[in-house]
Amino acid sequence: MLAWTIRRRPIPSTIEGLPQNLHPVLRRVYAARSVCGAADLEQGLSELHPPHLLSNIDAAAELLAGILMAGGRMLIVGDFDADGATSTALAIRALRAMGATQVDYLVPNRFDFGYGLSPELVQVAQARCPDVIITVDNGISSLAGVAAANAAGIQVLVTDHHLPGAQLPQAAVIVNPNLPDDPFPSKSLAGVGVIFYVMLALRSYLRAAGWFTARAIAEPRLAQLLDLVALGTVADVAVLDRNNRILLEQGLRRMRAGQVCPGILALLEVAGRARHRLVAADLGFAVGPRLNAAGRLKDMSRGIECLLTDCPQTALAIARELDALNRQRREIEQEMHQQALASLETLQTELATASLPHGLCLLDASWHQGVVGILASRIKQRLHRPVIAFARAADGKLQGSARSVPGLHIRDLLERISSRYPGLVVKFGGHAMAAGLTLRAADFDRFRMAFEAAVSDVASAEVLERIILTDGELEPENLDLALAQVLRVAGPWGQGFPEPLFDGVFTVLDRRVVGEQHIRFRLRAPQNEAIVDAIAFSAVQYGWDCVQGAVRIVFRLDVNEFRGKQSLQLMIEYLEPVP
């Protein structure tokens, strides 16, 4: 593994404003994440930003209410990832609960249609005769698709969170917190968060119109859908600003209490995760990937059906299908990962230097189109470079998935390239940390050089420096199960609100390889000589199975539960020998 620089987060003076009854370590962890006082820790639903702050949300509610009251047909067009799947399932569940009887969904197959509302997908949609198409987690870049729907006499409501381009689609209504001049304070809502807010506004409109009373419909408790909001938010790696943390925490509380749809419960079961101990990381590393596997390798409709069914047996059967697809996805990804690393070693040899380009573009004709996003993420994490991994699509074009590092806005970078070299990028879209794009195969080398040059132009040396930020060293008395239990439930942790990492020097007493790629350690702690267990996942590739003596590690505290007994376990994120 390449060497990283370990740096400790500064502890601001605002630590004095935090409640004194908090664990001292948790107080400093919170302070380092700009939590300044008790009010910042309030996570009730009343603390959420109100829906009316979203531009056009009242117009969206009026449009949907009119169609619902007229008994019209509604068609949800989603995306083929977990955010799109949860958004689709939430919209359908909410609309049905509000009395809609003609609501259906359509998700483009990644391999046949590509992303978003395309003219070709509109042709398929026309057969269902919708009065309105509601896009979820897509649509802001679907200029041609919305135009095709308009030409067919179908209204379009776009709900999205991706950054808009210079031109907006001519939809009947657009709801997106990232629209220019939109006053909504949280720009980090996932797609599922946006459609949740639209459903809140629709419920308010119908309540004011007397709809529920006149139809003797029980007014739906939309908070029951927060399990879907939580899953989609984590799976899409949305930045956990305060508003998203509230949505996530409320969803987690309901799931732990058993208020969870059968599909998510079944996905937890096949992943071996206990509902009552659920944390955000379980959604990100266990549930999300299994749901995503459907869209990556097959058809996301199976994932959506898993989230829509109210039958536990059906949910479990689909969850097992998704689990099998996820195992297949991991095998494909592992092979692609090794090929990519081999290509990088060849590139380093050709450059006759230990350094790599500031931006990396990777392509292999054999790579799977549905897995290049994960590959780009893995290489980015390993090398701390913005990475675009490409696969060849059925039409011969190249489909790329881009992943960036903090401080380098990848969608803005693609827009910069597209403006400087008109026609080079067929289409693109995304946000700060992730994006997708399409190229003509003949333009790959030209784009690769343009990408490397653009990254070099805008990325400072500091942005590309491999730095691990930690929350410092733990005092010997705090290296215990009690603190691990406190930190586990003190989040929710995630993108933009990272789980606490600590660093320290330990002595390796024993190590052994488990599961072919993982390493279990027995370590002696500093100062108090306590012996602790630790594990490092996928660490054999870094040569950590050969380390001995003193090592500096960066780690998380974890609660390991085995046969009903809990114990402390360190989760090693980085390791380097101490000279």
pLDDT of residue 343: 74
Are the folds of 46-260 and 356-464 the same? no
Q: Is the pLDDT of residue 351 over 60?
A: no
Question: How many whole angstroms separate alpha carbon 250 and alpha carbon 247?
Answer: 5
| 66 sits in which H/E element | helix 57-69
The rounded percent of the chain whose pLDDT value lies above 90 is 72
Q: Is residue 444 within 8 Å of 434, Cβ to Cβ?
A: no
Say which CATH topology domain 356-464 has: Diaminopimelate Epimerase; Chain A, domain 1 (3.10.310)
pTM above 0.85, yes or no: yes
Q: Where are the domains of the chain?
A: 46-260, 356-464, 469-577
The rounded percent of the chain whose pLDDT value lies above 70 is 96
**CATH number among 3.40.605.10, 3.90.1640.30, 3.40.50.300, 3.40.50.620, domain 46-260:** 3.90.1640.30
pLDDT of residue 378: 85
* 66: Cα separation from own chain's centroid: 34
Q: How confident is the prediction for the chain on average, in pLDDT?
A: 92
Sign of the CA dihedral 472, 473, 478, 482?
positive
Domain 469-577: give its CATH code. 2.40.50.460
Bond into 180 cis (ω within 30)? no
pLDDT, tens digit, 9 for 90 and up, residues 534-577: 999 989 888 899 999 999 999 999 999 888 899 999 999 999 99
pLDDT of residue 121: 93
pLDDT, tens digit, 9 for 90 and up, residues 498-512: 999 999 999 999 999
Residues 6+ apart with CB under 8 A from 309: 262, 263, 315, 318
pLDDT of residue 348: 53
pLDDT, tens digit, 9 for 90 and up, residues 354-365: 567 899 999 988
User: What is the arithmetic mean of pLDDT over 457-469?
Assistant: 89
Question: How many whole angstroms separate alpha carbon 545 and alpha carbon 539?
Answer: 8
Q: Is the pLDDT of residue 352 over 50?
A: no
Q: Work out the number of other CB atoms within 10 angstroms of the CB of residue 323.
A: 18
Phi, psi of 539 (to 5 degrees): -100, -10
